């Protein structure tokens, strides 16, 4: 049964869900969500205690929306994995949320995780079925073993690309290597798949512009960038990033796809730009919520469901989270319009406001002491 092992996962496919009508879809999600909940609670002790503490019982659970999400910060204070310690294949460290030490996501079986990330990546970055060499503006998985992002890129390169070059080595970007790789692609006329963080890509773009250099990567080249949407440090608007990528790499905005993800979730959310271009239609705004994920938007003041289009706190229910709680309360703010997700800021902490103190700074103090 699905709740006991990842098993076969026919439901991890966009096509499978698209074949359903709205009611079937809803019914199917509700059933799978309940199964996931019932399977996880007895096997994740802190989640079990939390659910009991809140007085939630399987028997009285009316709808999947009543399944309590774990706060993202709980990954930092508690071990929230089904498998016993030592059984894990990978350990991802969480970042960005603001309570105590980095959180850990231990996975002893990555099959669902892998299937989810490949399905969404293929759908949004390779809708034309292209297979091309990849260049990753980041480190290899070996260099960054606890990063879910670099795990994902590694996996994409291995499974979906023809070859891979990693630009970050020993923690530093090797810009010459980037130049050489892009030059080769231009001279051979081979389209490139570029993966990386928005910040690193922007840094590279700025460097090229400062040097007065512009690559005209062959048509079909595309970029997946991530991080910028969460409003980390990025002082760039999306339009500026688009101009920068087009101006420095010669890749038009139709082939620039932004991703939103987090270590606590197995699934990712992508822009529609390239898929729309391939299908010859205008791009839908916002990000695609994979059909095996439901995102609720709550009024942060009352924790009640927001109406369509109103900004609120995001809670994700991701069926591809098999070993760790599949319902996660984030610090991210956003809206849902026409079934698509719009990220609109994230908790920035009190730092920006003057006198108060953020957890990050406290941790810095702690480390210094």
Rule CB under 8 A: which residues touch another protein? 45-46, 49-50, 52-54, 69-74, 77-78, 97-100, 298, 300-303, 311-313, 329, 331, 333, 345-359, 361-362, 365-366, 369
SS3 47: helix
Contact in structure between 292 and 50 (CB atoms under 8 Å): no
CB nearer to another protein: pick between 35 and 46? 46
What's the min distance (Å) between Cβ of 210 and another protein?
Answer: 17
What's the min distance (Å) between Cβ of 359 and another protein?
Answer: 7
SS3 272: coil
What's the min distance (Å) between Cβ of 355 and another protein?
Answer: 4
SS3 2: coil
What's the min distance (Å) between Cβ of 103 and another protein?
Answer: 11
CB nearer to another protein: pick between 28 and 311? 311
Residue 81 CB neighbour total at 10 angstroms? 21
CB nearer to another protein: pick between 157 and 263? 263
What's the min distance (Å) between Cβ of 265 and another protein?
Answer: 16
102-115 in b/e form (b: 16+ CB < 10 A) is ebbbbbebbebbbb
CB nearer to another protein: pick between 4 and 369? 369
What's the min distance (Å) between Cβ of 204 and another protein?
Answer: 23
CB nearer to another protein: pick between 46 and 250? 46
State the Cα–Cα distance between residues 115 and 50, nearest whole angstrom. Answer: 29
CB nearer to another protein: pick between 74 and 134? 74
**Treating both helix axes as pointing N-terminal to C-terminal, what angle do 238-249 and 198-210 enclose, rounded to 10 degrees?**
50
Take residue 278 and report the two structure tokens written for it: 């391939």
Contact in structure between 57 and 66 (CB atoms under 8 Å): no
Could you tell me where the beta strands, DSSP code E, fall in the chain?
70-71, 90-93, 104-107, 134-137, 164-166, 168-169, 172-173, 193-197, 222-226, 256-260, 269-271, 287-288, 293-298, 312-318, 327-337, 340-346
């Amino acid at each position: 049964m699905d709740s006991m092992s990842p098993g076969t996962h026919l439901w991890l496919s966009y096509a499978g869900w698209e074949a359903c009508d709205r009611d079937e879809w809803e019914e199917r999600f509700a059933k799978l969500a309940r199964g996931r909940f019932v399977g996880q609670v007895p096997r994740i002790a802190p989640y079990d205690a939390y659910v009991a503490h809140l007085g939630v019982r399987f028997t009285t659970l009316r709808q999947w929306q009543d399944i309590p999400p774990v706060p993202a910060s709980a990954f930092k204070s508690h071990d929230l994995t089904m498998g016993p310690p030592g059984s894990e294949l990978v350990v991802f460290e969480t970042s960005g949320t603001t309570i105590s030490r980095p959180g850990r996501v231990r996975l002893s079986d990555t099959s669902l995780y892998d299937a989810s990330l490949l399905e969404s990546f293929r759908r949004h970055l390779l809708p034309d079925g292209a297979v091309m060499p990849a260049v990753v503006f980041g480190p290899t998985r070996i260099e960054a073993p606890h990063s879910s992002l670099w795990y994902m890129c590694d996996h994409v390169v291995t499974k979906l690309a023809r070859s891979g070059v990693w630009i970050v080595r020993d923690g530093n970007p090797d810009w010459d290597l980037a130049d050489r790789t892009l030059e080769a692609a231009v001279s051979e006329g081979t389209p490139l798949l570029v993966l990386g963080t928005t910040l690193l890509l922007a840094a590279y773009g700025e460097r090229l512009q400062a040097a007065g250099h512009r690559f005209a990567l062959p048509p079909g080249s595309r970029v997946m960038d991530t991080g910028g949407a969460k409003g980390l440090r990025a002082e760039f608007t999306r339009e500026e990033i688009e101009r920068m990528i087009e101006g420095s790499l010669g890749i038009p905005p139709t082939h620039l796809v932004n991703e939103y993800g987090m270590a606590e979730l197995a699934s990712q959310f992508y822009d529609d730009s390239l898929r729309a271009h391939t299908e010859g239609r205008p791009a839908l705004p916002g990000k695609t919520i994979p059909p095996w994920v439901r995102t609720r938007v709550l009024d942060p003041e009352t924790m009640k469901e927001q109406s369509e289009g109103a900004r609120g706190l995001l809670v994700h229910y991701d069926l591809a989270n098999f070993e760790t709680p599949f319902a996660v309360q984030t610090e991210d703010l956003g809206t849902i319009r026409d079934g698509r997700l719009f990220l609109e800021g994230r908790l920035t902490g009190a730092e920006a406001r003057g006198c108060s103190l953020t957890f990050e700074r406290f941790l810095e103090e702690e480390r210094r002491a």
